Amino acid sequence: MVRPNQVLILFAHPALEKSRVNRHLIEGIHGLDSVTVHDLYEVYPSFHINVGFEQNLLLQHDIIVFQHPFYWYSSPAILKEWQDLVLQHGFAYGQGGTALHGKKFLSAITTGGDAHAYHREGHNYFTIRELLVPFEQTARLCGMEYLPPFVIQGTHQLRDKQDLARHSKDYLRAITALRDDTIEWEHLRRSPHFNHNLDQVIKTQEASHRG
């Protein structure tokens, strides 16, 4: 039996009680086998990050996910603090820093603005992929493969429970497929976003059984 990939969700939301979309996403994947949901604000309310513990978590997992709202074209503060402290020279990069080599890295983000706001004629000018370049370069420096991001946009306009349920189902499908390695990797690497067309990115059960 093939060992499933171990997936680590580093979740950062400073006001989860006020969140609708991220709360639905995280509730949808809670309890999945081989998936660790690590809520940084819950574990470190005073920002006193246990570097050794966090590095051991990284070593134990194959796929690392940063899940967070896209605050000011970046992440909530605790995730930046986590990067500054945990991704140490000699561990994550630099001489001898090969601990994360070969792992895969995924950004799973939500944006208040819709997709039209993220292009040259839009309010934010840059595309999501362009704005996520610091995360991509972090992954590259650490020897990880940066995957096309899982992006949910226009969250300020999301009011329909069916839309929330659809996004939650898509996220569950994506995380499960990463865990089970049922991804059409070449198609995913060509996609702008992970959830651009999940039916093409994720292998059907019949195809995955054929190997």
Question: Which residue in this structure is represented by tokens 């595309």?
Answer: 127
One-letter identity of residue 143:
G
Tokens read off for 106: 């995924």
Residues 204, 208, 210, 211, Cα dihedral to 10° = 150
Instruction: Return left, alpha or beta for 154; rule: phi > 0 is left, psi -120 to 50 is alpha, else beta.
Output: left
Is residue 21 within 8 A of residue 155, CB to CB? The reply is yes
- Residue 206 maps to a domain: yes
How many distinct structural domains can be found in the chain?
1
- Collect all residues with Cβ–Cβ distance below 8 Å to 138 and sequence separation of at least 6: 83, 87
Q: Tell me, what's the pLDDT at 208?
A: 44
Q: Tell me, what's the pLDDT at 205?
A: 57
Distance CA 106, CA 63 (A): 8
User: pLDDT tens track of the chain, all 211 residues?
Assistant: 678 999 999 999 998 777 889 999 999 999 999 999 999 999 999 999 999 999 999 999 999 999 999 999 999 999 999 999 999 999 999 999 999 999 999 999 999 999 999 999 999 999 999 999 999 999 999 999 999 999 999 988 777 788 889 999 999 999 999 999 999 999 999 999 999 999 999 987 544 443 4
Q: Tell me, what's the pLDDT at 207?
A: 44
Distance CA 21, CA 100 (A): 30
Domain containing 174 equals 7-210
- Residue 33 maps to a domain: yes
- Residue 1 maps to a domain: no
- Residue 200 maps to a domain: yes
Phi and psi at 71, nearest 5°, equal -85, 125
- 190: domain CATH number is 3.40.50.360
Is residue 129 within 8 A of residue 149, CB to CB? The reply is yes
- Residue 162 maps to a domain: yes
Tokens read off for 9: 């969700």
Which residue intervals of 30-159 are DSSP H helices?
40-43, 51-59, 77-86, 128-131, 133-141
- Residue 192 maps to a domain: yes
